[in-house]
Every structure is written in C-alpha cells, then in structure tokens.
Amino acid sequence: MNLLWVMVYLCYMFIVGFSKEISKRDDVHIGAVFSFGTITGKVAKIAMDAAVADVNSDPSILGHRKLVLSTHDSNYSGFLSIIGGLQYMETNTVAIIGPQTSGMAHVLSHLANELHTPMLSFTALDPSLSSLQYPYFIQTAPNDLFQMTAIADMVSYFSYAEVIVVYTDDEQSRGSIIALSEKLAERRCKISYKAVLSPEALATNEEIMNELVKVTLMESRVIIVHAYAVIGLKVFDMARKLRMMDKGYVWIATAWLSTVLDSDVDSLMDAKSIQGVITLRPHTSNSERKRAFFSRWEKLSNGSIKLNPYGLYAYDTVWIIANAVKVLLDHGGIISFSNNSNLNGLAKGVLNLGALRTFDAGKEMLSNILRTNMTGLTGKIAFDLDKSIIRPSYDILNVIGRGDKQIGYWSNYSGLSVVPPEILYRKAFIRSSSNQKLSGVVWPGETTVRPRGWVFPHNGRKLRIGIPDRFSYKEFVSRDEDTNEIHGYCVDVFLAAVNLLSYAVPYEFILFGDKKKNPSYMELVFDAAVGDIAIVTNRTKIVDFTQPYIESGLVVVAPVRKLNSSPLAFMRPFTLSMWAVTGAFFLIVGVVIWILEHRINDEFRGPPKKQFLTILWFGFSTLFFAHRENTMSTLGRIVLIIWMFVVLIITSSYTASLTSILTVQQLAPSIRGIDSLITSNDHIGFQVGSFAESYLREELNIAKSRLIPLGSPQEYADAINRGRVAAVVDERPYVDLFLSKYCMFQVVGREFTRSGWGFAFPRDSPLAVDMSTAILTLSENGELQKIHDKWLNTRACGQSTSVDSDQLQLKSFWGLFLLCGIVCFLALLLYFGSIVHKFMRYFPEQSEPSSGGSSRSMRLQRFLSFVDEKEEKLENYKLKRKQTEILSRGEDGSRRNEAEGSFSW
C-alpha cells in the first residue's frame, strides 16, 4: 500500500511539473529597456506591470498563456541599453518596449530590423525614427515633429519672428530642433541662436551659465528649452540667477517640464525659476477608464510618484503588444524563433552573438501592431501610413508657482484652440488664423502684457543707419555744412516715428556718398537706411521695408511748345461723345416741342417738309436763344425752360474752355507719355542713383545708349532745353519739386509705376514692424502731413497734367442731360395720356358689321387723324354735338306731351 501511495505521489508531481513546463514554454515574453531612475522610467515601470497584470487577468486575450515582462535598467548608459536589447533578442522575446532615448533607438532599430523583433517606444520621439529606414521601430506616442509644430504655431500666434533654442547635443534633441527650424521657416520665423549643451547629465552649471550669458547678449527674448528634466531645471535655475525670468522674456519648455510638474513637483528647487513658462503636455482624452486608473495609481505606486501621461502611454503600449499577439494566435500563427543564418560564424567567443534568434512571425506581428484600432487610457489608438499615432495633440500649460493652468490645446487637426481636440474632431473644422486661440498668459515677471520678444543687443553697439549724402534735392535729406546736423523730410519722419516707439532705440546716422553725385542704395552695408528709398522688387529681396510714408511712382517730364493753329480748334473744348450727345438732344428737344405744340400752335403745322424744317430750326436755334416760334402749351413751356437751362450751362462751359485753350493755355507737350518714348529713338534722362535706370532697361527694354544720367534739377532743364534728352523719367516727389521751380515743363501721361518710400531694415527685423505701426500713427494724427508741408510745400507752377485734361467730358454733364430727358419723357407721357382720354370721350367705340381686324384698323386711322387735327376742330365738333343733343331732347319732349294729351282723362 505504501508503495502504491508513493507511485501516485510521484505521478502527481510529474504531471504538475510537466504542466508548469508546458505553461512556461507557452508564455509570451516581452522586454523593456529603460533608465528606471528617471521620472519617466519610474512611472513607466509601474504602469507596465499594471498592464501585464490586467492582460493576464483577462483569459479572452491570451487564453492559457501568460504575458511575461522582463525589465532591464540601462542606468543612463547607452552601452547598457544596447546590452539589454541584445539579451532580449536571444531569449525568445516577441517585442521590446524602449529604449528610452532616441540615440539608443537608432542603434537597436538595426538589430530589430535584422531579427524581426518589433520595438515600441513612447519616449524615443525623434522624428527621423519614423522613417522607412526603421520599419520595426514604432512610436506609440506622438513624435516630436508634432510637438515642434505646436511650438511653431505658438511662436507665430504671439507674432514673434526669432527664437533662441537651448538643447542637449544628442540624437534625442538634434532631430527635434531640425524639425522645429523647418516648422518655424514655414511660418516666416527662424532660430537666431542655438545654445548647445552637453548631453545626458554631463552639462555643468558653469557650461549652462556661459551659454545663458551669450543668450542675454542676443536680440531675441523668446527662448525654447528642449532637454532632459535634470538639465532643464538647471537651465531655469541659472536663468533666474541671471535675472532672465523677469519681464521681457518668453520661455517655452517642451513636454519634459510638464512631466516634472505632474510627477515630481517636489524636485523643483525654486518655483520662481519657472514662473510664467509655457510648456506642453501630451493630450490624453478624458474617460472613465482613465479616471479609474488614476484612482488605482496611489495603490500601485505606494505613493512614491504621481502619474503622468507617459505612464498612460506605457500602459497602452503593453496592451498594443498583447492585442497584436492575440490576433496572431487567433489567425493560426505560431510564436517561434530560429537561428539567423547571418550569425552562424559568430557563435564562438564570449559574446556568443550566434545565440541571437529571429522571430519567425515578426512581420505578421509588426503588421498586427500597425493595424491596431483600439481605445486605451490615452484615447483612440491607431497608426497612419507613416507609423505615427493618429490625431496627435497636446495640452498647452502656463506655469504659475508650483502648479500650472491650462491655456489651450494644440492638435494636428485644428491647430491652437481653447476647445478640447476630441470635441473638434466631431465636426467639420476650418483651420484658419482667425480660429487660432489661446487663453490669457501670465508671463515671467507676473505680467499679463505680452512681451515684445526682442531687445537691442546688450553689446554696446548702436544701430548704424545709413543716410545718403545727396547732391541734389536736399529737401529730402541732407547735412548742414555749418552744424553737421542731418535734416530733411525723410529724417524728420524717421525721428517722429522713433519717438512714438515704447522703447529706446540707440542709433547713429552715417553718411555715405561722395557729395558729387547722388549715391546708389545698392551700396548700403548698414543696419538700416533712412532716405528717399523707393520700395521696389529687387530691394525687397534683400531688406525689409516699413510702411510707405509717401507715395511715389515714375512719371515723364517733357517740355511744352506752342500749339499750331488749326481749322478745327473750336472742336477741342468737347470730347467726341460730348458733341454727339449734345447734338442728339437738340433734335430730341425739337421733336418733343413739335409733338406738344402741333395740335394747338399754327407755327408747328403745315406740310410735312415745313414741319421737318421747323423741328430742325427750333431745336438748334435754342443754342443761341434765337428761336422765333412761341410755345403755347404748359408742358412745352416746362420742357423748353429746362432745356434752355441745360443749354446755358453747356454754352458757358464751352466758351470758358475754348477761351482757355486759345488764349491762356496754348501749350502742349512734344511727348505724350512713356509709350511714345518707348517707340521713339529719343534720348531719355534719369536721376543718378534712382531705380529709374534699371526699370527702363530691364522692364521696358530701352537700350542703355538712349539713357542719359542727370544729377540736379538744373541739369534736367539744361538737358531738355539743349536737346540732349527728349524727356526725363523720375519719381513723382522729385518731379513735384522740379516743376515748382521750372514752369516750362510738365508731366505728360500718367504714373506708370506705383510704389512708395520706406525705411529699410535687415530681413526679419522686428523694428521694421514697430516702425510701420508708428508711421501709420503719424498718418492718422496728421503729423505726417505737417512734416510734408514743412519740407515739400511746392507751388502750383508747372503742375499741369496732360493736354487732354482740358477737354470737357460727357461725365461732367450727364446729370443735366438726364434731367432734361426725364422731363421730356414725363411731358410726352402726360400729353399722350390726355390725347387718349379725349379720343375715348368724343369718339366712343361703336359696333360695326365689319370684321374685327378692319374695325381696329379704322379706329387706329381715326385716332391718328384725331392726333393730327387742330384743337379748334375738336371744339367745333363738341359744339355741334351739343346742339344735336339739345334738338334731339326737344323733339322727344314734344312727342311725349302730345301723347300725354291724347291719353289724358
């Protein structure tokens, strides 16, 4: 019996051991490579363990199999990260979570590619890791391309043009900064300086201090910090000591700072070090599962650390792997590993690299991961064609004390908003600049006023402003030979604009030019330029201009000559259209008066030939008020009064214009404008230093041999009078001054370019924007006009435009013609209404045996005859009709009396 019990016990132990061995062989192994001493590493370890426990507690996921997580602490070492990855790839691991840094991810991804082992990371977020070079590396959190896009959108939203970046010199940061630079460039912003620090925790306080001192000497005050938490906190602590956390600075930190705030706020050395900083946090949708997990966290972590978004991503990453394994097994897949033929010769030695195993179902596993479509603690989880998490979004936080307040969101779908992304995803959203919104920010220095974002560099150097030492037209800019002071219209506008700025601008004027000719602005090598600088295309490619403070444009100046007498000189006062309309109205008024007077006025009756001549005579004789026919009708007199008023205005205007043409202004230009200059072979003068030369040559294709450089107004006049040039092409402000002194010249044609004068600054200079605002203010308050009147208040001499401007246009008289036409129409309408009424009264329609068509024709003939008849015949007809009615009534009465007498009793 005892022997029997011993055998039963041995069988039981064999069965239990065998089942455990089978179960052990069926376990699904995954590995994790992290620096578990970091904030993210600590949170990720707890979250991954919780996820593994939840997967194993649900038999519907892996059935009788268990998910086994092995962890390897790289302890801030890249070398140990590589060792950990190698260990997992020789122990039948289906997937690896990690590594924590992008540098190690670049290395281990090559191993993952070779051994077909998917590698998932929610912290190695270098944008380049999503490239086709690393098919087995998957980022389960939004990569830094989206975070840098969010920062670029914020910089653009706050209207900053330049930023400074502080970052560590490693793969974790370099790729992200490249992405930031590209996104800023898309928004016409740029990185003006890169403060590069040693990687990992190697950056010392002295190194950080030296870089920040360099930053204080820069113009930009917008600083972006992208580093590890340890280094980032040191940067802010050093910045506080350098008083860089005061008013005027803008600090933006990437998601590392929100991780510290969420999980380890006690590590902050001084809350003032991060007061007013803007930071980002990966956005995770609010859900019941998320709230439940937050409730569990205190027990899971034993109160050692608080949960942050990367803990949620760690939890979801485990579930992504578990679901991918489930799909693999459900579709008949087998988890098996085989030796890699490329490693057959490496089995010897201490490293024993031949032990590395290839995951046979690695491709299927990778495909299942990329087809993930689930809802996790972070929200909806799926990947796009670029292996990136769909719908990446961030919370935007403003640090206040040791806490933070949310000022908005950023998503790849809607950009900046104050509405959570998951709400915007439900409706059609138009992404435009007007929809970009953030709540109010408390900036460093505890101010709500948005900092300007830049200052003049604290290097003791003033802004060097180039001033042309002009040879001519010194009203615009010149130097007083006695006092050496710089003055002029352009200088006064600049000084007035600078005085409106809310900050001091240290500057000095530097003259350039040889005093013998006007200098060219292509010679400028200064920080800015003030003067008569036209805003033209080729200049805008190298500098930024302010708002124009005076309009300009090229015009043609030509001499004038006496007009030759012409037999048709009397035609010049009116344009052809004016002559045509006036003649037409003479005929129209004659016809209208004839119609209104024909039935009552003997002077408008007679044979057709006589009536036609009467119409012509009456219409045109009104021009001289010489018509002999009298008007008898009221309507005719009204029409005639209105027409005589129109004629009075037209004849007076004609007389004045003809007098001006034939006596006062008998001058006309020999050149009609730029078109006649182009088609001719005449020489053309231009001002030395002006852009007119390049425009005439490059845009209008005028030969260089035809262009004559001129230096002063006197040279203009002499060159034209002596026949050296047929005309001069120059900018309008110069021409106005020239014509105020030389009356025998005038502008011909119109301005053939449109531009203005502005102050020039280096590309992307924020001073150009502020000066533009100041110039607009000067224009609105009238100060700009006062400065103009002070320097450029020219006389009217020579300011005539083109010859054709003396002609009277139809548009100047259309109101009179319209009035006359309306009166004629109303008079005819009333007249014909009266005629129809009389006809219907005295000739009522009678039934006739003839057909309907014949009856209407006869009635029309009767009506026309009625209209043509004189009014006296109608009166005679009325009298005869009355007499007939009286007689008929008398006969009827006598018959009734006779009848009554014969039948009376």
Phi, psi of 879 (to 5 degrees): -65, -45
The one-letter amino acid at 328: L
Which DSSP helix (H) or strand (E) runs through 533? none
Which of 550, 532, 534, 554 lies closest to 748 in space, CA to CA? 554
Cα–Cα distances (Å) from 626 to 592, 615, 620, 621, 637, in that order, read 18, 14, 9, 5, 16
Distances (CA, A) of 94 to 194, 313, 352: 41, 19, 20
pLDDT score of 301? 92
Which residue type does 430 have? I
Nearest-CA neighbor of 247 among 275, 266, 207, 205? 275
Structure tokens at 114: 């070779």
Cβ pair 575, 713 in contact under 8 A? no
Which two three-digit tokens encode residue 655? 């007389």
pLDDT value for 13: 44
Residue 421 tokens, joined: 């992304």
Calpha distance 785→791 (Å, rounded) = 10
> Quick one: which of 588, 566, 712 has its CA closest to 642?
588
CA-to-CA distance for 746 and 556, rounded, in angstroms? 8
Q: Which residues lie across from 190 on neighbouring strands?
A: 162
Peptide bond preceding 844: is omega within 30 degrees of 0, i.e. cis? no
Integer Cα distance of 32 and 67 in angstroms: 13
Q: Token pair of 538, please?
A: 């080729």
Q: What is the rounded distance in angstroms from the CA atom of residue 869 to the CA atom of residue 856? A: 20
What pLDDT, on the 0 to 100 scale, is given for residue 899?
43
* Distance from chain centroid for Cα 761: 22
- Which stretches does DSSP call E strand in 734-830? 745-748, 755-757, 760-761
From the list 788, 789, 794, the residue with the least C-alpha distance to 493 is 788
DSSP track, 417-448: ESS-HHHHTTS-----GGG-------BTTTB-
Profile the chain (905 residues) by mean pLDDT over runs of 10 residues.
43 39 65 88 94 94 91 74 65 87 86 89 91 92 95 94 93 91 93 90 88 92 93 92 92 93 69 88 93 94 92 96 94 84 52 67 93 93 89 93 87 91 82 85 92 78 85 86 87 93 86 77 75 87 90 88 63 80 81 75 69 72 66 76 81 79 56 86 89 89 92 88 90 88 84 89 85 93 91 61 57 81 84 76 55 64 67 58 59 49 33
Q: How many CB atoms lie within 10 A of CB 163?
A: 24
Q: What's the number of CA atoms in the CB half-sphere (13 Å) around residue 576?
A: 0
**Contact predicate 146/127, CB 8 Å:** no
Task: Please state, in angstroms and rounded to a whole number, the distance separating the CA atoms of residues 194 and 201.
Answer: 19
β-bridge pairing 528-529 and 707-710: unpaired
Query: Can you read off the two tokens belonging to residue 817?
Result: 């013609």
Helix (H, G, I), strand (E, B) or coil at 835: helix
User: Which pTM does this prediction carry?
Assistant: 0.67
572, HSE (Cβ side, Cα atoms, 13 Å): 21
CB atoms within 10 A of CB 174: 19
The half-sphere exposure of 535 on its side-chain side, counting CA atoms within 13 A, is 17
Neighbours of 868 (CB within 10 A): 10
Q: CB–CB of 784/726 below 8 Å?
A: no
Decide: 590 and 604 in contact? Cβ < 8 Å. no
Beta bridge partners, 252, equal 224, 278
Task: Tell me the one-letter amino acid at 684.
Answer: I
